[in-house]
């Protein structure tokens, strides 16, 4: 049973999530590669850059940058939240407050969705422009069971790819995976193909290697915290940072169509650049 079939089977058992297990891919179509790029100088976003300001190397080969966009492109914000039995009391209160704050930060054209994971993955809401629907769904969720972190992250990535717009995934978990069907490596392979940028918040002393790799491969960021008191500010900082990213695209030239492509993104005038380290093309 391959990874996508395994998730589909898990979803049928849960009876509550309907995501399309299409062959989502990051730049599998070699005619265009999209890269979300954050450029900062002394911690502040750098604005006003155009195609001529960027340098991109694909497997070491310089590429011609076709398009750089910084306008407020609508976002697809997917929350993938741990609702295992350990997320209770104060943690649950803080998580709900943070989710509400994130919904308040959305603007016209943005969509949001909620995926929750316990022993199995469930769909709280599909992508919707109505933030109120997501708030209600979040308030109705109650902690129970174990933690299917890997399955939940995969389902949320697929959901993020199911509509137009730029996809931001925010994963929250207070523990390591204890009940997923999918192997982490299979989900990370998908992350290398996906346009979704994943950020994650992990609470607890045990570090999640999966979340570290997921955020690294997609060009996001992992927050490792010991308490949830500042969770709202973290969620909002993630949303603000994502809005400051450039969307850079180019047509690959002089490189293989398949396999792992190492990306190097630079800004000619200087600055700190954050972007995914590469992408996996082909079947």
Domain ranges of the chain: 3-24+72-243, 33-71+245-281
Domain 33-71+245-281 fold: Immunoglobulin-like (2.60.40)
Whether the per-residue pLDDT at 269 is higher than 90: the answer is no
CATH topology identical between 3-24+72-243 and 33-71+245-281: no
Question: In this prediction, what percent of the chain has a pLDDT beyond 70?
Answer: 89
User: Is residue 1 pLDDT above 60, yes or no?
Assistant: no
Query: Over 50: is that where the pLDDT of 23 sits?
Result: no
Q: How far apart are CA 199 and CA 215, in angstroms?
A: 6
Q: Are 76 and 111 in contact (CB under 8 A)?
A: yes
Instruction: For residue 79, count other CB atoms closer than 10 A to its CB.
Output: 26
Cβ-based burial of 159 (10 A; exposed 0-12, middle 13-18, buried ≥19): buried
Tokens coding 81 = 């939240």
Judge residue 106's burial from the number of C-beta atoms within 10 Å of its C-beta, 0-12 exposed, 13-18 middle, 19 or more buried.
Answer: middle
User: Average pLDDT in the 33-39 region?
Assistant: 94
At 158 the pLDDT is 95
Query: Helix (H, G, I), strand (E, B), or coil: what is residue 121?
Result: strand
Q: How confident is the model at residue 209 (pLDDT cuts 50, 70, 90)?
A: very high
Q: What pTM value is reported for the model?
A: 0.88
pLDDT at 145 over 90: yes
- The region of weakest confidence among 6-15, 60-69, 132-141, 176-185 is 6-15
pLDDT band, residue 204 (cuts 50/70/90): confident
Reduce the DSSP state of residue 266 to 3 states and report it: strand
Helix (H) or strand (E) holding 11: helix 3-14
pLDDT above 70 (res 97) = yes
Residue 98 contacts residue 232 (beta carbons within 8 Å): yes
> What per-residue confidence (pLDDT) applies to 283?
64
Residue 171 near residue 140, CB atoms below 8 Å: no
Tell me which CATH code domain 3-24+72-243 carries.
3.40.50.410
All residues at 6 or more sequence positions from 6 whose CB lies less than 8 Å from its CB, including other chains = 181, 182
Q: In the predicted model, is pLDDT for residue 73 greater than 60?
A: yes
Pairing status of strand 259-267 against strand 278-281: antiparallel
The rounded mean pLDDT for the chain is 88
Closest CA to 67 of 250, 228, 270: 250
Helix (H, G, I), strand (E, B) or coil at 268: coil
pLDDT of 10 higher than 70: no
**3-class secondary-structure state, position 242:** helix
């Amino acid at each position: 049973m391959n990874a996508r079939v395994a998730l589909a089977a898990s979803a049928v058992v849960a009876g509550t999530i309907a995501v399309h297990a299409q062959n989502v891919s990051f730049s599998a179509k070699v005619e265009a590669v999209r890269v979300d790029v954050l450029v900062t100088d002394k911690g502040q976003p750098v604005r006003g850059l155009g195609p001529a300001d960027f340098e991109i190397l694909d497997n070491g080969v310089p590429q011609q940058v076709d398009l750089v966009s910084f306008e407020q492109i609508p976002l697809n914000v997917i929350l993938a939240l741990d609702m295992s039995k350990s997320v209770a009391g104060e943690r649950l209160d803080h998580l709900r407050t943070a989710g509400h704050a994130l919904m308040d930060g959305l603007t016209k054209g943005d969509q949001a969705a909620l995926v929750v994971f316990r022993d199995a993955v469930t769909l709280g809401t599909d992508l919707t422009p109505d933030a109120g629907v997501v708030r209600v769904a979040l308030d109705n969720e109650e902690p129970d069971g174990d933690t299917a972190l890997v399955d939940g992250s995969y389902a949320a990535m697929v959901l993020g790819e199911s509509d137009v717009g730029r996809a931001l995934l925010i994963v929250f978990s207070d523990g390591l995976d204890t009940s997923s069907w999918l192997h982490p490596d299979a989900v990370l392979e998908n992350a290398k193909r996906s346009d979704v940028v994943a950020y994650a918040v992990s609470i607890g002393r045990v570090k999640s290697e999966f979340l570290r790799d997921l955020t690294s491969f997609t060009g996001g960021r992992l927050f490792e915290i010991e308490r949830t008191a500042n969770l709202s500010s973290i969620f909002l900082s993630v949303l603000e940072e994502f809005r400051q990213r450039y969307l850079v695209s180019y047509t690959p030239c002089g490189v293989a169509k398949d396999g792992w492509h190492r990306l190097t993104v630079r800004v000619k005038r200087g600055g700190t650049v954050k972007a995914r380290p590469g992408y996996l093309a082909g079947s």
